[in-house]
Amino acid sequence: MVLLVNHRRSLGIVTSITLAATLAAACKGESTGQASAAPAAAEAASAPNGAQKASGGNATGDTTTGARKGSRGGGGGGGGGGGGRAASAITLASSDVAVVKRETIEAGIPITGDLHPIETIAVRARIEGDLTGVFVREGERVAAGQMLAQFESSEQETTQTSAEADVSSAQSDLATAQWNLDQSRDLFKAGAIAERDLKVAEQTVESAKARLAAAVSRLKSTSNVIRDTRVLAPAAGIIEKRLVQNGERVTRGQQLFSLVRNSVLELAAAVPAKQATAVVPGQVVHFIADTRNFDGTVARVSPTIDPTTRAITVYVTVPNRDGALKGGTFASGRVVQRTINGAMVVPTPALRQSSETGQAFVYRIANRAVDAAPIQLGVIDERAGKAEVLAGLNDGDRVIVGNVGILGRGMQVTVVGSEDQGASSGRRGRTGGRGAGSRGQQNPTK
């Protein structure tokens, strides 16, 4: 009896444990089903076809079915979008594109330096004295021989008058001595006087000539002093500095003015020794200074190489008759070595260099797409902004100029204002029509 009671208790415990396990499994399954149905229901809400079919019947089952169908419909739409995806493209202005053509280009050696007047003259006082007049100021243009200043000259004029009188007296003495000599010669021939008297007359003439020469020399000296009281411009030019004022007393040798001759300017430029033999006098030099273009000529070339800089000095003269260029202006230019006619050229902003190999290349537009074209360069004229291409391009090729953004091979290009723009617009219109038709086929009914 006791055994039967224990058996029934054990059976009840096992049954309770089994029932609890079954309920736990059922609760877990229901939780899993609800968790799986939630994303399916959300996907079904985003899919029109699934949402239309998810009506009536079992809500969970219909929602899951609609979600699956909506997911397939979305996948189809995604596939259609992937098939219609276009390649990367860029739109350029007409100024960003240049055409390769044949032009004249010059090969030369670049030089830079400051332009200086061909000559700067320091006008100095030749005598000591007081200035009674200063007649020019800085910046005035003067002619050769024009009076710049005047010294007080009364003393010098008195000395000159005395010298002139001495010359007149010496001339008179010489004339008298010459007459006496002529008479003495006649008397000596007649035997009226001794030879000694004739010699005395001849010596008197020679002494008179010497006195006259000395008087003339003194007169020239005083004349020079009189001339030095008038300060004259030694050459035509412009007064750069005026260093004295009216009434000022100056010493002999003191600088009064600084005068520059700027009708011709000169530039001294350093050229590397390896290019020294390519520069000779007479070559033309093209310059840019103050945004102006002008030409000069190689006047002189230094015969030696500077041991410190390993360069030679080249002197270039530049005509400046109108005075438009000022001394001290910085100029950059090129000594023209040779001129190449009919060279294939591209603008220098179109040139690019590979960071890996250092190879020069340009971005060429071929069949409305970007193509990186390696090129071989010849002469580069920085002043004109163009470079000679020896190989890699053909006449009429179009290249991209300047920095227009990131470019890559195969990128589609549309140039505003060119035929490419119209063709690209037509292609976009046709592509848009096809895209609308495809969307209609995916969703024939709503």
Q: What is the pLDDT of residue 132?
A: 93
Predicted confidence at residue 276, as pLDDT, reads 85
3-class SS of residue 417:
coil
Question: Hey, where are the domains in the chain?
Answer: 2-83, 126-250
What's the rounded Cα separation, in Å, for the pair 363 and 100?
12
Q: Phi and psi at residue 230, in whole multiples of 5°?
A: -110, 115
Helix or strand (DSSP H, E) at 146: none
Q: Domain 126-250 maps to which CATH number in 3.90.950.10, 2.40.50.100, 2.60.260.20, 3.60.70.12?
A: 2.40.50.100
Residue 251 buriedness (CB in 10 A; 0-12 / 13-18 / 19+): exposed
| Residue keyed to tokens 């190449």 | 340
pLDDT score at 70: 36
Residue with tokens 């910046």: 139
Q: Would you call 248 helix, strand, or coil by DSSP?
A: coil
What pLDDT does 446 receive? 35
CB 278 within 8 Å of CB 110: no
Helices (H) and strands (E) in the chain, counts: 6, 21
Q: In the block, which residue shows the tokens 């000529």?
A: 297
β-strand partners of 102: 344
- The string of DSSP codes covering 249-295 is EE-TT-EEEEEEEEEEEEEEEEEEGGGGGG--TT-EEEEEETTEEEE
Cβ neighbours of 222 (radius 10 Å)? 20
pLDDT of residue 59: 33
The candidate with the shortest Cα–Cα distance to 414, out of 45, 86, 151, 171, is 86
Q: Which two three-digit tokens encode residue 192?
A: 């009226």
Please, what sign has the CA dihedral across residues 241, 247, 251, 252? positive
Residues 373, 374, 378, 380, CA torsion sign: positive
Residues 6+ apart with CB under 8 A from 256: 123, 124, 125, 148, 149, 231, 242, 243, 244, 250
- What is the CA angle 330-336-341, rounded to 5? 135
Print pLDDT tens along the chain (446 aa).
Answer: 333 334 445 444 444 444 444 444 444 444 444 434 333 333 333 333 333 333 333 333 343 333 333 333 333 333 333 333 444 888 888 888 999 999 888 888 889 999 999 999 999 999 999 999 999 999 999 999 999 999 998 888 888 899 999 999 999 999 999 999 999 999 989 888 888 988 999 999 999 999 999 999 999 988 888 889 999 999 999 999 999 999 999 999 999 999 999 889 999 999 998 888 889 999 999 888 888 888 999 999 999 999 999 999 999 999 988 888 888 899 988 898 888 888 899 998 999 988 888 899 999 988 888 888 899 998 888 777 889 999 989 888 999 998 887 888 888 888 887 655 544 444 444 444 444 333 333 343 33
Cα within 13 Å of Cα(116), Cβ side: 11
Instruction: Report the sign of the C-alpha dihedral through residues 260, 261, 263, 264, in that order.
Output: negative
* CA–CA distance, 319 with 265 (Å, rounded to integer): 6
Residue 151 has a pLDDT of 94
